[in-house]
Amino acid sequence: MGRLWAARLAGRSVVFLPRPGRRPDHPLSYRFQPFQGEAFTVRIPWLAANETPDLLLVTTKAGDTLPALTAALPQLPETTPVVLFQNGLGSQQQVADTWPERPILAATTTEGANRPEPDLTIHAGTGETHVGALTRRGGEALAEVVAQLQGSGLTVHAETDILARLWRKLVINAGINPFTALLDCPNGDLLRQPMFLQWIGPLCRETATLMAAAGQSTPSPESLRQSIEQVARATAGNTSSMRADVLAGRPTEIDYINGYLTALGQQLGIATPVNQMLTEQVKQLDGSLTNGS
C-alpha cells in the first residue's frame, strides 16, 4: 500500500522514511503497474537527515507501527500529521494514546495493491479512502491532509467518525482473513467451505454483541454475515493479506483482528470462543512456519 501511494504521489516530492536501523544509499526503485495504462518505473529518494516531511503516511504492519513511530517521530516536528493505514484495531489507539499531542489520523481504504514480485507493485483495484482524526490536532489537520492525499488522483474523503469505519473493515477482515489463512484458499472459496459455514454465524453473533457493548452501531448478526459474504463474492479471486502473510512465512496481524475482538471481550466480560479459536489456530500456523515445520 505504501508503494501505491508513493507512485500516485510521486510528482509531489515524495520520500521514504527508512525503517529503524536502515541507512539506504540509493533511492527506492520499482516498477508500478497502474490500474489503467502502461507500467512505469518509480524512483523515490529516502528522507535525508536535514529534511522534515509535511505529512507522514504509515503503511507498516499493525504490530510494527508503534516501534517504527517510536524510532521515527523524535526526528519530526510535533506539527507533522501522521496518517495510519493499518488493518484491524488496536494499533491506532496505541499510537494516539502514546502521542496525544500530535496530529494523529487513521485511514481505511478499499484500494487494492499487491507485489507479485519484489520490484513490481500492481494497482489491482480502485476504491475509496476515508481519513479521520484520532487526536484533537488531527482534527485540525484533517482538511489539509485530505487535500494533500487527493493530489494522488485517488478518491479520498474526510471522515468525521473514522472509528466506525475502522470497525466496519474489522468485521470484514475478522470474517474472511483467518478462514482463508487456515483453509489456504482465495476469498470466494470460503462460501462453500464447511469450516466457514459452521463458524461464520456464531462469529457474527459474537461480533454484534461486542459492537453493541463497545458503543458502536448495533447491526444484526445476519447483516454482518451478509456484508462479509458480499465482500467475499466481490473479491472472489483475491488472496487476503493474512493468507498472503502465511504463504510468505511472515507473522500475521491476527492480534489486531480476531485477537483484538477476543481481548475486547475479556475487557467487557463477553465470551468470544469463536474469535479466540480462530486467533489461536492462526497463531499455531504462525508458529509452525516460524519453526520451519
Q: What is the DSSP letter of 216?
A: S
Name the phi and psi angles at 124, rounded to 5: -85, -20
169 as an active site residue: the answer is: yes
Which residues share a beta bridge with 191? none
The closest of 110, 106, 115 to 58, measured between CA atoms, is 106
Cell numbers standing for residue 240:
487476503
Distance (Å, whole) CA 130 – CA 65: 19
Do 83 and 107 touch, CB atoms closer than 8 A?
Answer: yes
Cell numbers standing for residue 114:
499487491
**Catalytic, out of 8, 169, 225, 243:** 169
- Rounded alpha-carbon distances, angstroms, from residue 234 to 143, 227, 228, 290: 31, 10, 10, 32
E strand residue ranges, 134-186: 155-158
Burial class (CB in 10 A: 0-12, 13-18, 19+), 215: exposed
Cell numbers standing for residue 98:
502514546
The closest of 85, 94, 64 to 260, measured between CA atoms, is 94
The closest of 217, 287, 289, 261 to 88, measured between CA atoms, is 261
Taking phi over 0 as left and psi of -120 to 50 as alpha, with beta for the rest, 132 belongs to beta
* Sign of the CA dihedral running 151, 156, 159, 164: negative
Please list the active-site residues. Answer: 169
